[in-house]
Amino acid sequence: MTILNAPKIFIVMRKLLLKKTLAELNKQADSENNGLKRHLSAMNLTLLGVGCVIGAGIFVLTGTAAQMHAGPAVALSFIVSAFGCLLAGLCYAEFASMIPVSGSAYTYGYATMGEFVAWIIGWDLILEYLFGSATVAVGWSGYVTSFLKDWGINLPASISQSPFVYDHSGWHTTGAIVNFPAIFIILIMTALLVIGIKESAKFNNAIVLVKVIVILLFIGFGISHIDVQNWTPFIPENTGVWGQYGWSGILTGAGVVFFAYIGFDAVSTMSQEAKNPKRDMPMAILSSLVICTVLYIGVSLTLTGIVNYKDLNVSAPIALAIDRAGASLVWLRPIIKVGAIAGLSSVVLVLLLGQSRIFYAMSSDGLLWKSFSKTHKKFKTPHIATLVTGAFAAFFAGIFPIGLLGELVSIGTLLAFVIVCVGILILRKTEPNAPRPFKTPWVPLVPILGALVCFAQMASLPTDTWVRLIIWMFIGFVIYFTYGRKHSHARKRSKK
């Protein structure tokens, strides 16, 4: 029976591994009818990357990772994450220069490992961007609430906090009904994205300048308020549980803050809207990564030096640090909070942008509903995909706590990076002579090391996070086998 069924199994596997050729992808990118317009320069792309990276990691998750996992050594967690990101970023840069099409790792997976793996990546990226924008929106809500409080405006906790909280001891209710500010910012950014990518990029460029200045002010003036006792011990002793301080805590903290680096990944989703993607994409990806890593390390050291790490599991840790610094930094308080609010706004913008482009790419291939690849007649943006993304992100931001959302995003990001690193190894074998405007150096060392570092961070994340990833993937498989597989354009072409 097994022997008789072998040919049938082989046929099924072959169909699941159908690929899009590099020629097809480049033809798609060059098409005048692709619906998206090439408005973005290298500077726009770099600033979009910086705009996304400098946000939740600095303004929100630094405190969570320090209090729950790494202590003051969260700075080392950022270095570990940056190393993994650098390796993955070099692989992303080669793909982005070769395949200037929307879709990021989803599109790269389609070209190297076939449709089924591409679906897994695409569904995983939905987890990354959808929950990512919700995570940042919750952080935005925390800073807005703190800022308004400084001016004597107290938002009721019932409409400005998540109804649930998640910590070492599990789930608890807060008594709140919904996090309205988090929903509000997502709806505003969704509306801006529907209007147009060019307008969105201009908005982002202005905000990036503001928040970089704010971060430099925090580091520059915060240094004098550092109490070195808050760094002692720099690596708190492990509690006996994996991931709760010690070296395992640094690794788990790296997995949690890895979410902070998805900005350069978001850049790669915009290849189809870049003016010169083969040159500009690698430059933007790597430049945004280097700039942000330096800033992250400086902020994490300053933050944990001003406030003891045990007090940092809050949605607005830098705001807390400014408050703790006392009267001498009172003048900086509103500046920091306005910068954080503006900065997190741009992160929500870029994550929602990335998510809508993933929907657009998957729909264009027939794997998701046709409406997701429709573009607005006037604005030339995938408005339906953008509106659906905004609606779901607003729901998750209004209900769930920031720690849970951040862990989900991190594991999704790490899985995408692992697959991209492996994809470079495959593409070097299957397409050795393909033009490569940018080549990943030291292959196979860089992609292998990148995959291992990213997987090690995945493995260090809590078991509950893995369970949620498996559930999310199961839902994705159901959609693929009931809809995507039947409507796949690549499958239809293979039957001709």
The pLDDT assigned to 124 comes to 86
The pLDDT assigned to 199 comes to 65
Cα angle: 173, vertex 175, 181; to 5 degrees:
105
Q: State pTM to two decimals.
A: 0.76
The pLDDT assigned to 1 comes to 43
The pLDDT assigned to 18 comes to 74
The pLDDT assigned to 446 comes to 94
- Per-residue confidence in pLDDT tens, the chain, 496 aa: 444 454 554 455 555 667 766 667 666 555 544 555 666 777 888 887 787 777 666 777 788 889 889 999 999 998 888 888 888 888 888 887 777 666 667 888 887 888 888 898 889 888 878 888 888 898 889 889 888 988 889 999 899 888 887 666 667 777 889 999 999 999 999 988 888 766 666 777 788 888 888 889 999 999 999 999 999 999 999 988 888 899 999 988 887 777 677 666 667 766 667 777 777 777 887 888 888 888 888 999 999 999 999 888 776 788 888 888 888 888 888 888 888 888 788 788 878 888 888 888 889 889 999 888 888 777 777 889 889 999 999 999 999 877 667 677 778 878 888 988 998 998 899 888 888 888 899 999 999 999 998 898 888 877 888 888 899 999 999 999 999 988 888 877 766 5
SS (HEC) of 326-385: CHHHCCHHHHHHHHHHHHHHHHHHHHHHHHHHHHHHHHHCCCCCHHHHCCCCCCCCCHHH
CATH class of 37-495: mainly alpha
The pLDDT assigned to 32 comes to 43
The pLDDT assigned to 479 comes to 93
